[in-house]
Copies of this chain bind each other. A is one copy, B any other.
Amino acid sequence: MYKTLKTENIFKGKILDIKVDTVLLPNGNTTTREVVIHNDAAAMVAVDDEGKILFVTQYRHAIGADLLEIPAGILEEGEDPHECALRELEEETSYKAGKIRHLTSFHTSAGCSNEVLHIYLCTELTKGSYNYDEDEFLTDSRLTLDEAMSKILSGEITDSKTIIGILMYNELKNRGEL
C-alpha cells in the first residue's frame, strides 16, 4: 500500500540522522517524508523508600529553558533498554535500583521520528555514584506523587516522558496494581 521508492540521506549527527524518503501512496501518487532517525531511549520513575520520586532539572538547548524531568538517557549501541535505565539512573541521580519494572514504551513524535522511549519504574534504591556525561549539567530534586501530579496538571511539567511516566505510575497505583 505504501512503498519507499528512494532514500536520500541528508545528515548524520551525534544523536540523530535525517533522511528524506520518496514514498508511493495508496492512491498511486508519490510524496516525500522527512524522517528523524534517533536511537531509542530509557527513562525512569524512580521512587525512594519515602515514596518520593527522583527528578532532574536541566537546560534543554532545543527549547531554550530549564526543564524538570525524570532521569533518562539514550541507549548505547546494543544496550538493552532496562540496562540503560539502571545505568542512567545511577549516572544522573547516584542511585542504584534493586527492583525495576517496565511501565510503558511510546513514540515521542510519530509524524516524523522513529524514536521510542521506554519508561521503567525503579524502586529499592541504594546509594551509588554520579557519572555525568561531560556536556551534562543536572540538578537533583525529589517530589511526592501529589506534588508531581500538581505540576503536570498546572502545566509546569511539559516533558513528554515525565508526563507519561508519572500519569502511568499514578494510574497503576489508583488501580491497586502497584
Contact = CB atoms under 8 A, between A and B. Distances in A.
Contacts of A20: 13
Contact of A106 (B29, B41, B74, B159): B159
Given A111-B60, A171-B153, A105 B35 contact: no
Interface of A: 1-2, 4, 10-11, 13-16, 18, 20-21, 23, 25-27, 29, 31-36, 38, 41, 59-63, 67, 69, 74, 104-116, 134-135, 137, 149, 152-153, 155, 158-160, 163-164, 167-168, 170-172, 174
A159 to B, nearest CB: 5
A110 B67 contact: yes
A158 B38 contact: no
For this chain, the copies found in one complex come to 2
A13 B137 CA distance: 32
Contacts of A134: 29
**Secondary structure type dominating chain A contacts:** mixed
B107 A25 contact: no
Given A18-B18, A110-B159, 9 more contacts: A13-B20, A31-B135, A36-B112, A60-B107, A109-B160, A160-B164, A163-B164, A163-B167, A167-B168
A160 B111 CA distance: 11
B11 A63 contact: no
A152 B163 CA distance: 14
A5 B112 CA distance: 28
A11 B14 contact: no
B109 A59 contact: no
Nearest to A177: B153
